[in-house]
Amino acid sequence: MKPIALVLIALLAAWTLSSAPTGAKKKSVPTASAKAPAKNTSGKKTVGKQYTGKASNRKAPTSTKSSSRYARGRYTAPPRPRGQTEPTQDRYREIQQALQQKGYLQGEPTGRWDAGSMDALKRFQQDQNLNASGKLDSLSLIALGLGPQRNNNSAQARPQ
């Protein structure tokens, strides 16, 4: 029995000496909670990085759909134009008709905002105690009766 014990002690000593490099720090062994590398069941030899138990800085590849601007949450809508856009010819015509009906504009509504239309609007704004700038603004349009139209059906009494 002594020869078997001697062989076992020699093997144990050789194993501990070969597993611990001299002068180098021993690396910590990953715990059971760390992720284990996937096993190769294909039988082919794999070449690659050994699992170290540390999280990688590299991101996993994504498909083209999930890498779009929408999916990453980085999409921003294109900027909208700031300020009021210029009214159409039909809207100018409506404003000119309202000024004509109130007696401030002479001639037929053309749909073009010219100096005569601006002067008529200035006179109207002055008479309404508004800022007489000759520019179209919300208060002037409301005073002309061309402001937002609201349906007050909710204010009417409902039959029960």
pTM above 0.75, yes or no: no
pLDDT of 63 reads 55
pLDDT of 102 reads 92
Burial letters for 51-71: b for 16+ Cβ neighbours within 10 Å, e otherwise? eeeeeeeeeeeeeeeeeeeee
What are the pLDDT digits (tens) for 114-144? 999 999 999 999 999 999 888 888 899 999 9
Q: What is the mean pLDDT of residues 77-99?
A: 85
Give the domain ranges of the chain. 89-143
- Greater confidence, 111 or 19? 111
Q: Quick check: 37 pLDDT over 80?
A: no
